[in-house]
C-alpha cells in the first residue's frame, strides 16, 4: 500500500500531465500558422485578381456609362493637338455611380461568364482568381492626365485604376471560435495606362 508521503513524492504520470498542459499551446500555434497561411493566400488571390482586372480594362472598351466627361472640353480643339492638362476623373462601382452592367460582368467573370479557376481559352475574369469577389467589391476609376492627342483613333489615353473594397478574410477555424470573419482584407489597387479604349472587349 502506497502511503500519502510516497504518493506525493512519486513522479509517475508527470510526463502525461506536462504533455496535457503543452498540447493546447501546440495546437493553438499550429492553427495560427495554418490560418496565417490561408490569410496570405487570400491576400495573394486579391492582388492577382486586381492585376488581371486592370490589364483587361486597359485593352477593353470602357465600362463607364458615358465617356463625355473626358471629351466635353475637346470640341473646340483641332485634331492632333495635345490633350489639355486638366485632370478629369470618373469612378464607378463599389458604392459610387453604377458601371456598365455588361462591362462589369465581363470584368468580374471573364469571357466565359463563370468563375472558374480552370479556365481554357478566352479572357480571365477577376473571380477566376478570387471566387468570392463580386461586382459590389470592385471600384474602377478612369483618369485623364493629359496623355495623348485630340482625335486619337484609339480614344483618349487614360489611367485606369481597379480597386477592391469590402472584402473580409475567410478563416478556417477562427471564424467559428472568435468570429474572425469580420477582419477586412486591406483595399488593394492597381493602375494601368489604357492602350485602345475603342476596340471593345478582348476575346
pLDDT given for residue 144 in this prediction: 92
Q: In the chain, what percentage of residues exceed pLDDT 70?
A: 83
Confidence bin at 17 (pLDDT 50/70/90): confident
Q: Is the pLDDT of residue 199 over 60?
A: yes
Q: CA-to-CA distance for 160 and 153, rounded, in angstroms?
A: 18
Mean pLDDT score of the chain: 82
pLDDT given for residue 92 in this prediction: 93
Q: Where are the domains of the chain?
A: 4-193
Q: How far is CA 18 from CA 6, 10, 25, 121, 150, in A?
A: 20, 15, 12, 58, 78
Q: CA-to-CA distance for 160 and 58, rounded, in angstroms?
A: 7
Q: What is the mean pLDDT of residues 105-123?
A: 80
Q: What is the mean pLDDT of residues 105-122?
A: 80
Which residue in 106, 96, 103, 172 sits closest to 137, CA to CA? 96
Continuous H helices in 59-186: 101-109, 174-178
Q: What is the mean pLDDT of residues 140-161?
A: 89
**Of 140 and 23, more confident:** 140
Amino acid at each position: 500500500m502506497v502511503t500519502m508521503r510516497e504518493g506525493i513524492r512519486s513522479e509517475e504520470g508527470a510526463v502525461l500531465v506536462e504533455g496535457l498542459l503543452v498540447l493546447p499551446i501546440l495546437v493553438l500555434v499550429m492553427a495560427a500558422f495554418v490560418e496565417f497561411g490561408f490569410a496570405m493566400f487570400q491576400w495573394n488571390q486579391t492582388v492577382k485578381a486586381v492585376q488581371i482586372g486592370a490589364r483587361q480594362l486597359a485593352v477593353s472598351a470602357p465600362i463607364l456609362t458615358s465617356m463625355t466627361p473626358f471629351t466635353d472640353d475637346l470640341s473646340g480643339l483641332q485634331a492632333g493637338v495635345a490633350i489639355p492638362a486638366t485632370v478629369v476623373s470618373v469612378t464607378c462601382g463599389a458604392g459610387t455611380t453604377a458601371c456598365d452592367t455588361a462591362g462589369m460582368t465581363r470584368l468580374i467573370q471573364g469571357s466565359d461568364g463563370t468563375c472558374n479557376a480552370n479556365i481554357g481559352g478566352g479572357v480571365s475574369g477577376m473571380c477566376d482568381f478570387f471566387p468570392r469577389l463580386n461586382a459590389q467589391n470592385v471600384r474602377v476609376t478612369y483618369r485623364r492626365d493629359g496623355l495623348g492627342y485630340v482625335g486619337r483613333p484609339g480614344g483618349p489615353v487614360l489611367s485606369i485604376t481597379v480597386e477592391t473594397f469590402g472584402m473580409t478574410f475567410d478563416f478556417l477555424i477562427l471564424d467559428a471560435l472568435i468570429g474572425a470573419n469580420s477582419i477586412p482584407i486591406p483595399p488593394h489597387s492597381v493602375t494601368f495606362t489604357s492602350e485602345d479604349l475603342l476596340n471593345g472587349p478582348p476575346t
